[in-house]
Structure 1
Amino acid sequence: MHIAKWTVLLAIFWLLLSGIIEPLMLFFGVASVIIVLIALVRMDAVDKEPKAIGTGIPFLRYIPWLIGQITLSSLEVTKMVWGAPEKVSPTLATLDASDVPEDCRALYANSITLTPGTLSVDLEDGDVTVHALRQTSIDELKEGHMKNKIIRIWGSNS
């Protein structure tokens, strides 16, 4: 079932990116999906921890929320770019992510990066180093709304 889900996901992804339905292109698509599946099976055999595709309620709760965050952040960055340059105050800070489950820390760091105006620079030992276009973005991250949302949806360490 694990490989079947990956096959469907990769095929749909390839079709969405290529958009061409001709025999030669479909052959290339099938070939590329098979190559990725072979690599996936070999990686699963090596680490003995096959990762299932994130489906179900947590995934359905997380994606709309993240899209909303990306939209709001995009609007803020647009206002900053078109507005007065003095509103931009680049900042680098380290955020504690030790209470985020270890297998969700990369998701947390990537969620930060996906929101415009912020970039996760490093993830090490439960700390995420973040660069932001404004200090207020760092302050919002320190309030913990994004971290708490990920903990609520994907589980906690306790």
Structure 2
Amino acid sequence: MHIAKWAVVLSIFWLLLSGFIEPLLLSFGAISVVIVLFILKRMDKVENEPGQIGTSIRLIRYTPWLIGQIFSSAIHVTKLIWGSPDKVSPAIEKINAKDVPASSRVLYANSITLTPGTLSVDLDESEVTVHALHKSSIEELQKGQMEKKITGIWGENK
């Protein structure tokens, strides 16, 4: 059943990104979706855990919050770039991620990367190495707001 969900999601995603509805391009899209589904099916056999699509309320709770974080970070980065160059203070630090469930650590690292001005460089068992344009972005991550949000929404017990 999850293969059918993935087929629908990938097809819609491909149509949204391509924007073309011509027979040749639709056939390319169908072929690419079939290839991805084939790879997904093979990965399911090896992993013994089928990749499920989050069809629950979790996605609805997480997406608007992440979009808000992206916009506020974009405003912060714009102020840094348009301001004086001495305001930019790049930093690289390890952020603790041991409280984030193992199944959500990649989501956590990607959420950090999606917010402008920060980039997840490395992901270990319990830490995410983050590069930021300004030290305050690292300090904000160390406060743990994003970690708490992801753990609260995507935690193991949900």
Does TM, normalized by the shorter one, top 0.5? yes
What is the percentage of aligned positions where both structures have the same residue? 63
Q: Which runs of 5+ in 1 are unaligned?
A: none
Deviation at 1:31, TM superposition (A): 1.2
User: Which residue does the alignment assign to 1:5?
Assistant: 5
Whole-angstrom CA distance in 2 between matches of 1:48 and 1:29: 28
Whole-angstrom CA distance in 1 between matches of 2:35 and 2:29: 10
4+ long deviations beyond 6 Å? none
Whole-angstrom CA distance in 2 between matches of 1:156 and 1:20: 40
User: Which residue does the alignment assign to 1:112?
Assistant: 112
Whole-angstrom CA distance in 2 between matches of 1:155 and 1:37: 27
Matched, 1:42 2:42: yes
Whole-angstrom CA distance in 2 between matches of 1:24 and 1:130: 42
Whole-angstrom CA distance in 1 between matches of 2:127 and 2:84: 32
Q: Secondary structure at the match of 1:52?
A: coil
State TM-score, norm by structure 2: 0.96
Q: Deviations over 1:6-44 (max 9, x none)?
A: 000110111111111111111111111111111111111
Whole-angstrom CA distance in 2 between matches of 1:20 and 1:110: 29
Deviation at 1:156, TM superposition (A): 5.3
Whole-angstrom CA distance in 1 between matches of 2:115 and 2:100: 18
State TM-score, norm by structure 1: 0.96
Whole-angstrom CA distance in 2 between matches of 1:125 and 1:101: 10
RMSD between aligned residues: 1.1
Deviation at 1:125, TM superposition (A): 2.1
Q: How many residues align?
A: 157
User: Which residue does the alignment assign to 2:144?
Assistant: 144
Q: Which runs of 5+ in 2 are unaligned?
A: none
Amino acid at match of 2:15: L
Whole-angstrom CA distance in 2 between matches of 1:75 and 1:85: 16
Whole-angstrom CA distance in 2 between matches of 1:153 and 1:47: 24
CA contact 1:3–1:37 (8 Å) conserved in 2:
yes
Deviation at 1:52, TM superposition (A): 0.3
